[in-house]
């Protein structure tokens, strides 16, 4: 398989801008000790560098994971992640927001490892009230293991957008008007985990984890929830006068023409699976949101 890393398609300058900005802007990082708890892994998850770096490790005995101390209901959340380098086949690094209970909402990034030199697959999904089956998958236009890159979710009452380095990968719109459930009432925590999924992750489970390459490590830094609404005791921080750093704008923000152009570019050149075109999977007809997307 040819590797579609950076510039396998010439990268338009409009797409390069957010990538350049991510390197030029000084980031005031939050502290992982204050914002997250290591939730499993028996010491395989570590907070380092005075709270500025978090690492998750996977070996043959166990993976590891962490979870935010706060719940969120809308806003924009950023995390810089450097994925497992080298032969990562069989491993999955999941980074997502999820609510509690049996009818949960969930917004997923899952990074499916691969043989050294082959690209990661970025798997996205949206669950509403316990129902998912809305997968879209992409390759990236860079090597996500060589350095940190920013993975963001913008979630507001109008739509949810998944971003990489400021470039939108995917948009899920609020289409309650045609009966499509939308995640808008359940506060969610941020979670991440590194685990072994060699029964399905790499080429449908054909490529197994090479444990001679273990331990596998993913690294996290520069978490930013400054523009997110923290939910606590039945109220939102976005209702507070002190929460004024652009959050009210984000809660009504739509994609502008430049962002729509970048989204279309990514989906044309790097999308490798879209549930909205999988007619074999939905013989009774595609989900209603897919029809709206096709018409738009």
Point out the residues that are catalytic. Answer: 106, 110
Cα gap 60→58, rounded to integer Å: 7
Label residue 165 left, alpha or beta by phi (over 0 means left) and psi (-120 to 50 means alpha): left
Are the C-beta atoms of residues 170 and 151 closer than 8 Å to each other? no
Are the C-beta atoms of residues 97 and 77 closer than 8 Å to each other? yes
Cα gap 273→114, rounded to integer Å: 17
Which token pair is 290?
């897919």
Cα gap 80→73, rounded to integer Å: 21
- Bridge partners of 54? 47, 220
DSSP H or E run through 73:
strand 71-82
SS3 content of the chain, % helix, strand, coil (to 5): 20, 35, 45
Residue 256: closest CA among 136, 139, 125, 154: 154
CB atoms near residue 77 (< 10 Å): 22
Write the DSSP symbol of residue 120.
P
Are the C-beta atoms of residues 64 and 57 closer than 8 Å to each other? yes
């Amino acid at each position: 398989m040819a590797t579609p890393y950076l510039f396998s398609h010439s990268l338009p300058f409009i797409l390069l801008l957010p990538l350049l900005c991510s390197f030029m802007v000084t980031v005031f990082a939050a502290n992982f000790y204050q914002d997250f708890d290591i939730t499993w892994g028996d010491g395989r998850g570590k907070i380092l560098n005075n709270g500025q770096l978090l690492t998750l490790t996977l070996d043959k005995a166990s993976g590891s994971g962490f979870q935010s101390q706060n719940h969120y209901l809308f806003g924009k959340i950023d995390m810089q992640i450097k994925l497992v380098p080298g032969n990562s086949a069989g491993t999955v690094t999941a980074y997502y927001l999820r609510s509690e209970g049996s009818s949960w909402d969930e917004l997923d990034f899952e990074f499916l490892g691969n043989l050294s030199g082959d690209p990661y697959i970025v798997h996205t999904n949206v669950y509403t009230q316990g129902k998912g089956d809305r997968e879209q998958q992409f390759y990236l236009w860079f090597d996500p293991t060589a350095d940190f890159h920013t993975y963001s979710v913008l979630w507001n009452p109008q739509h949810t957008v998944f971003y990489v380095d400021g470039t939108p990968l995917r948009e899920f719109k609020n289409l309650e008007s045609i009966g499509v459930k939308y995640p808008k009432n359940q506060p969610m925590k941020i979670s991440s985990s590194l685990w072994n999924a060699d029964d399905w992750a790499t080429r449908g489970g054909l490529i197994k984890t090479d444990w001679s390459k273990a331990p596998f490590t993913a690294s996290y830094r520069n978490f930013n929830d400054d523009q997110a609404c923290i939910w606590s005791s039945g109220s939102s921080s976005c209702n507070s006068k002190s929460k004024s750093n652009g959050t009210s704008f984000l809660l009504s923000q739509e994609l502008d023409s430049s962002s729509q152009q970048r989204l279309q570019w990514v989906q044309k050149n790097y999308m490798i699976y879209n549930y909205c075109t999988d007619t074999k999977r939905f013989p009774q007809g595609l989900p209603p949101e897919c029809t709206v997307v096709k018409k738009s």
